[in-house]
Amino acid sequence: MGGISGILRADGALDPDEAAALGPGHRFGAGGIGLVARPRSTFAMDEGAVVLVAGHFDRAPTTGQSAADIVLEGWRSQGMGVFDRVEGAWVAVIWDRRAKTLDIVRDPFGVRRCFWTLQQGRFAFASSLRRLLDVPGVSRELARENLAEFLSFRYVHAPRTLLRDVSALPPGHRLSWAPGQSPVVDPWFRVKHALPYSPAPDDAQTLAELERRMFRAVAARASGRERVGVFLSGGLDSSAITWVASRLGPVNTFTVGVQDGEDDETPYAGRVATILRTDHEVVRVGPDDMLGAFDAMVAASDAPVTDPAAIPQFILARRARETVDVVLCGDGGDEIFGGRSVGLLASQMRLSAWVRRFPGAGRRLASMAFGDKRPEIEDENVPFGLARVVGGVVAFDATARAGLMRDPGWVRGGIRRACLEPFYREIVSDPVNEMLHAYLRGRMPEDALSRTGAVAQLADIGVRPPLLDRDLVAFCASLPGPWKVRPGLAGSVTKWPLRQLLLPVLTRSLVQRPKRVLPGPWRRWFEGPLAPFLAERVERLVDDPLRLFMPNAVRGLVPRIHEPGVAERLWTLIFLDAWIQDVGAH
């Protein structure tokens, strides 16, 4: 896959090792500046600026031009305004040859990534962490202060990374730098959400507008000369994308099934494919496939893989690449329509709102009567989602980290709230939209999209998420949360708009079935065919040359493999250790 990188020195020309580290491709060099756009990325320049773009524009104001040409032309007259008119997954770099300034701009939702470092006056950047680490002198020191964040969420939020001297550009942000100065990182894009107490819109009109915008989003990513397919899980998001794509022409759909997996989703995907008349293929993945792809998946990842499901996804993508050039995926659906655990949280939120009507002592008694902690009742000025610390999965909580980590100073008991609070500060909306925003800004780019990017690179296939079309996201964000997640007979109805659009197309049982994720028989595999792999990896963790974890705590996870979440914790540690070894962190 393509990529961009660059080195800028304030103290003289690049040395041969630095120039070689940038790799082959379209190159600009002048004095202490080296900029490279490798194959599948684009390059443009004139007397005023040099532009590199990694990624692609799905919808742009002009045709017949490369992404870099579009940015170069628009930058002259509009500056940052050029990015208001493009859509897709990209990172753009602009070197102003007259002002001697560098700007790096990342797409609104973080589909493409960018890393940078500034050491002794030398600024280096790359759209791949591995390429940045090729630059001589870039430190690979592990950021131990960020380990608690990784263990808690299974990822680290940009601008932080797991390497102390490497930063990540956050989604929807712009970095500006000039030699001799410190980089300035600011947001250039923000999603505008419905204001609190916004009235519910008209159902029929809103659903019609939603359908129109979804059609436009899919068409922008499914038209052209590329062969396009869809990753079809059988869930609402991928089913909706398949439904829209099938109206544009014949569609290839691909589903992955995990051998011995619980709640196999492939029959549901097959039923959707039959109804929508797609050319459907199911790929089965077993433990041997997991072992065969493990090292390659680690080597393709800019950060430790956040979920073992990445490996079945890669195997599916590799098979799809034999038939198509690009696949559409459902990333973003939970964040814009109201999925994940928001349904349960919305039900709890409604109950808490009722309890809040009681006087102070009555609140506490009523809360205790329900048998759970309700921190949102104690302080009405704290957003519900922040009080509950909603945003991302919980891998190792503070207690588990305290028993695992060698240095008590690394545990950082309040790390989740500290990481999530900035996201809640960005938004003033109803509680449902606030929680969705925290997922959109946190888990989606660092978990789902990071995993998708690694899969795409390794399988050499384009993976595009039409639900992250900027117009579609803006429209869904403008809708009140209670309109998207509605009270139901047995709790809350999540993704109500998608269910309504699909009811006339699919069967009611397909539309109304509960949310599931890719099933993983990790516990059974760890006890059976993957037992030797687990034993080997646990011993590597116990060996622990960086002295990060308590050996008995690591070994103690294995006998507890039957407990909920323990297999996932083991995968988290295994992937972390493999990634540290692969990048040579110290």
Confirm if 145 and 152 have CB atoms less than 8 A apart: no
**Across residues 314-333, what is the average pLDDT?**
96
- Omega into 159 within 30° of 0, i.e. cis? yes
CA distance 472 to 452: 20
Higher-confidence position of 68 and 354: 68
pLDDT at residue 326 above 60?
Answer: yes
How sure is the predictor about 418, in pLDDT bands with cuts at 50, 70 and 90?
Answer: very high
What average pLDDT is seen over the chain? 91
Exposed, middle or buried, 188 (CB in 10 Å: 0-12/13-18/19+)?
middle
Inform me whether the pLDDT recorded for 483 exceeds 60. yes
Q: Regarding the domain with residue range 4-187, which homologous superfamily does it belong to in the CATH classification?
A: Aminohydrolase, N-terminal nucleophile (Ntn) domain (3.60.20.10)
SS (HEC) of 345-406 = HHHHHHHHHHHCCCCHHHHHHHHHHCCCCCHHHHCCCCCHHHHCCCCCCCCCCHHHHHHHEC
Which CATH architecture fits 203-338+442-512?
A: 3-Layer(aba) Sandwich (3.40)
What mean pLDDT comes out for the span 300-310? 89
Sign (positive or negative) of CA dihedral 132, 138, 140, 142: negative
Candidate from 17-21, 61-65, 140-144, 295-299 with smallest mean pLDDT: 61-65
Q: What is the pLDDT of residue 495?
A: 94
- Residue range 204-233: mean pLDDT, rounded: 93
382 has a pLDDT exceeding 80 = yes
Higher pLDDT, 260 or 473: 473
**Structure confidence at residue 388 (pLDDT):** 86
Q: Which is nearest to 106 in space by CA: 187, 45, 218, 50?
A: 187
User: Is the pLDDT higher at 2 or at 483?
Assistant: 483
- DSSP letter at 81 equals G
Q: Check residue 520 and give its pLDDT.
A: 66
Tokens of 196: 């609190």
The pLDDT of residue 446 is above 90: yes
Report the distance separating Cα 126 and Cα 245, nearest Å.
34
Strand partners, 296: none
Those residues with Cβ within 8 angstroms of residue 353's Cβ, 6 or more apart along the chain or in another chain: none
Residue spans of the domains in the chain: they are 4-187, 203-338+442-512, 342-439, 522-583
User: Dihedral sign, CA of 500, 222, 108, 190?
Assistant: negative
Is the confidence at residue 214, as pLDDT, over 60?
A: yes
Taking the C-alpha atoms of residue 169 and residue 177, their distance in angstroms, rounded to an integer, is 13
The pair of structure tokens assigned to 401 is 């980290």
Quick one: average pLDDT of 224-240?
92
The predicted model scores a pTM of: 0.93
pLDDT, average across residues 41-57: 95
Residue 42's beta-bridge partner residues? 53
Position 351 scores a pLDDT of 66
Strand 42-45 vs strand 184-187: parallel, antiparallel, or unpaired? unpaired
Q: Cβ distance 452 to 332 under 8 Å?
A: no
Distance of CA 457 to the CA centre of its chain: 15
Does the structure show a pLDDT above 60 at 519?
Answer: no
Percent of the chain with pLDDT over 90: 76
Give yes or no for residue 371 having a pLDDT over 90.
no
Q: How far apart are CA 509 and CA 522, in angstroms?
A: 28
Least confident of 209-213, 366-370, 510-514, 539-543: 366-370
Q: Which two tokens stand for residue 398?
A: 């503070």
pLDDT at 157 over 90: yes
Please give the pLDDT value at position 79: 94
Q: Residue 275, exposed/middle/buried by CB under 10 A (0-12, 13-18, 19+)?
A: middle
d(CA 444, CA 435): 12
The pLDDT of residue 196:
94
Which residues have a Cβ under 8 Å from the Cβ of 320 and sit 6 or more positions away?
A: 229, 231, 252, 254, 281, 327, 459, 461
- Tell whether the model's pLDDT for residue 165 goes beyond 80: yes
Residue 462, pLDDT score? 92
| pLDDT-based confidence at residue 491 (cuts at 50, 70, 90) | confident
Helix or strand (DSSP H, E) at 56: strand 49-59
Q: What is the per-residue pLDDT for 404?
A: 97
Mean pLDDT of 341-361: 68
* Lowest pLDDT segment from 35-44, 72-81, 103-112, 380-389: 380-389
What is the 8-class DSSP label of residue 194? P
